[in-house]
Amino acid sequence: MIGTEGETTGDERVDAAMARLGDVEQAPPSSHPEIFQDVHRRLQEALTGIDGEQA
């Protein structure tokens, strides 16, 4: 994906979710909602995990 190659956030969960966005470029448009939903789920899980780590 343009602008994200080699960039990391420092959180493996977020980096994996962002890497999944790269699948959009090769996937047919009909698959895009599934990919975006997966990325959204992964990011939500990462945020939930942050709450647990800070407690």
Q: Does any domain span residue 47? A: yes
Q: pTM for the complete prediction?
A: 0.75
Domain span including residue 33: 12-54
Q: Does any domain span residue 49? A: yes
Q: What is the pLDDT of residues 10-28, one digit of tens each?
A: 889 999 999 999 999 999 9
The Cβ of residue 32 has, within 10 Å, a number of other Cβ atoms equal to 12
At residue 2, does pLDDT exceed 50? no
Q: Does any domain span residue 23? A: yes
DSSP annotation string for 1-42: -TTTTT---S-HHHHHHHHHGGGGGTS-GGGHHHHHHHHHHH
Distance of CA 51 to the CA centre of its chain: 18
Q: What is the pLDDT of residues 22-45, one digit of tens each?
A: 999 999 999 999 999 999 999 999
Q: Does any domain span residue 22? A: yes
The total domain count for the chain is 1
d(CA 20, CA 38): 8
Q: Does any domain span residue 3? A: no
